[in-house]
Amino acid sequence: MFPPVLESFNFMTVIDILVVAYIIYRLTMFIKGTRAVQLLKGFGVLIIASYLSEALNLTTLSWTLKQAWTALLVALPVVFQPELRRTLEQLGRGKLFQGPLRPLMPGDEEHGWIIPEIVRAVGVLVKNKIGALIVIERQTGVNEVIETGTLLDAKVSGDLLVNIFIPKTPLHDGAAVIRGGRIAAAGCYLTLTDNPHLSRDLGTRHRAGIGITEQTDAVVVIVSEETGVISLAVEGRISRFLDEPTLRVSLEELLQPKAGTARQFWQWRNSQ
């Protein structure tokens, strides 16, 4: 005779476990590379903090976290609204449970050789007063943005970036997204910022660049079509009237892990 637990463990139980495991796996792969990953990490921190506060009998902290959990459960549909909508859309199209796609590009490459290519492209664009919007992904994934454009999966080069933004070409009206050492997509659409305090001199391209940096930790290079001015957007803030050497130094500060952080970048910019 088997123990009661083993007796109840039949073939259908195995099927049940495998189906649930596969669904969890597919959902994990689905949110990989999106903002939801960072949000889930935040929830993980709260779960650990709640457990430790209970274990250590920290009454005040435990009560505070319980109230925070109540508020978060109410706000959860709002916080994850883009991901929930995207999941339902993919489920309706039958794409949620398709096999995993080949990664667009490697994720943890050094950015040193990319920066000169970006700066070279920006120099050409500025001379010809060609507008450009280049999004450089960092830790927070921007898969939602990539999906709105045309997938390229091409090695970053100055010539290719220039050609993407040539007026009246199919991909010029939108953003180019760089991930690792590759141009993931071009012609991508970005959500405009809602910041009411921005200068009225900033057009749609600049507001779109600022908008993506409010939602992610991406770095955005913007070239104005009207004036040829170079701008750089980070963390919902924009630095304008950069020249090519300054752009290069700024990108090195922001993209190379050993060079510095966004906070150091803004301190450096304010000291100029």
pLDDT, one tens digit per residue, over 222-271 is 999 999 999 999 988 999 999 999 999 999 888 875 544 445 555 545 54
Measure the CA–CA gap between 74 and 70, rounded to whole angstroms. 7
Tokens 């959500």 -> residue: 191
Q: How many domains does the chain have?
A: 2
Tokens 């949620």 -> residue: 96
- 77 and 119 part of one domain: no
* 7-16, 126-135, 214-223: the lowest-pLDDT one: 7-16
Beta bridge partners of 237: 234
pLDDT the model gives residue 34: 61
Q: CB–CB of 163/172 below 8 Å? A: no
In a domain, 257, yes or no: yes
In a domain, 109, yes or no: no
Q: Residues 6 or more apart from 260 whose CB is under 8 A from it?
A: 253, 254, 268
Tokens 């991406």 -> residue: 218
In a domain, 261, yes or no: yes
- 123 and 55 part of one domain: no
In a domain, 103, yes or no: no
Beta bridge partners of 150: 186
In a domain, 199, yes or no: yes
In a domain, 9, yes or no: yes
Residue scoring higher pLDDT (148 or 81)? 148
* 15-19, 37-41, 202-206, 243-247: the lowest-pLDDT one: 37-41
Helix ranges (H only) for the chain are 4-7, 11-31, 35-55, 59-79, 81-93, 114-127, 143-146, 158-164, 204-215, 244-255, 262-271
pLDDT the model gives residue 38: 66
Beta bridge partners of 223: 132, 230
- 39 and 76 part of one domain: yes
- 89 and 118 part of one domain: no
- 51 and 185 part of one domain: no
Measure the CA–CA gap between 97 and 80, rounded to whole angstroms. 20
- 257 and 138 part of one domain: yes
Model confidence at 108, pLDDT cuts 50, 70, 90, reads very low
The CATH number assigned to the domain holding 261 equals: 3.40.1700.10
Residue scoring higher pLDDT (90 or 205)? 205
Q: CB–CB of 161/183 below 8 Å? A: yes
In a domain, 123, yes or no: yes
234 phi and psi, to 5 degrees? -150, 135
Quick one: average pLDDT of 197-218? Answer: 89
Highest mean predicted confidence (pLDDT) among 21-30, 86-95, 197-206, 223-232: 223-232
Structural domain containing residue 63: 4-93
pLDDT the model gives residue 132: 96
233 phi and psi, to 5 degrees? -110, 130
* Sheet bearing 132-136, strands edge to edge: 150-155, 182-188, 175-179, 132-136, 219-223, 230-234, 237-242
* 68-77, 133-142, 154-163: the lowest-pLDDT one: 68-77
- 180 and 83 part of one domain: no
pLDDT the model gives residue 102: 37
Last residue within a domain, chosen from 60, 93, 126: 93
- 172 and 264 part of one domain: yes
Last residue within a domain, chosen from 93, 128, 163: 93
Is 25 a residue whose pLDDT tops 80?
no
Model confidence at 7, pLDDT cuts 50, 70, 90, reads low
- 45 and 175 part of one domain: no
Measure the CA–CA gap between 104 and 92, rounded to whole angstroms. 24
- 156 and 212 part of one domain: yes
Quick one: average pLDDT of 75-83? Answer: 67
Model confidence at 164, pLDDT cuts 50, 70, 90, reads very high
- 140 and 224 part of one domain: yes
Last residue within a domain, chosen from 40, 64, 93: 93
User: How many alpha carbons lie under 13 Å from residue 52 in its C-beta half-sphere?
Assistant: 6
Residue closest to 175 by CA, chosen among 198, 148, 156: 148
- Structure token digits, residue 78: 């709002």
- For the chain, the average pLDDT equals 80
- 166 and 252 part of one domain: yes
Quick one: average pLDDT of 44-59? Answer: 85
In a domain, 107, yes or no: no
pLDDT the model gives residue 62: 85
pLDDT the model gives residue 117: 94
Tokens 């950015």 -> residue: 111
